[in-house]
Amino acid sequence: MTALRLCLERIVPPRKDSPVKVTLPAIESATDIPAVTNALLEAVANGQLTPSEAAALAALVEGHRKALETADLAERVAKLEEFKGL
């Protein structure tokens, strides 16, 4: 099995990502996300990024959006609990 894996790695080497250089707007809240996705679309249209690179970056942006949303919801729940005296 190991020999087969070694042969396959030589025929089809593992994908190695390279750094991507693109300037994106800062994301301070979820309302900033459309500007970032627009910048990604423009970068693809201008040939700065491949569609797969843009998709990978968009996935990172989506993860960041979820983190912002979670933090915002936690803050709102804490304020409600404080208001209710819980």
Say whether pLDDT at 9 is over 90. no
With residues binned 3-state (H G I as helix, E B as strand, rest as coil), the percentages for the chain, rounded to 5, are 70, 0, 30
Question: What is the average pLDDT score of the chain?
Answer: 90
Position 77 confidence tier, pLDDT thresholds 50, 70, 90: very high
Backbone angles phi, psi at 78, to 5 degrees: -60, -40
Measure Cα distances from 49 to 17, 39, 62 in Å.
13, 11, 18
pLDDT at 8 (0 to 100): 76
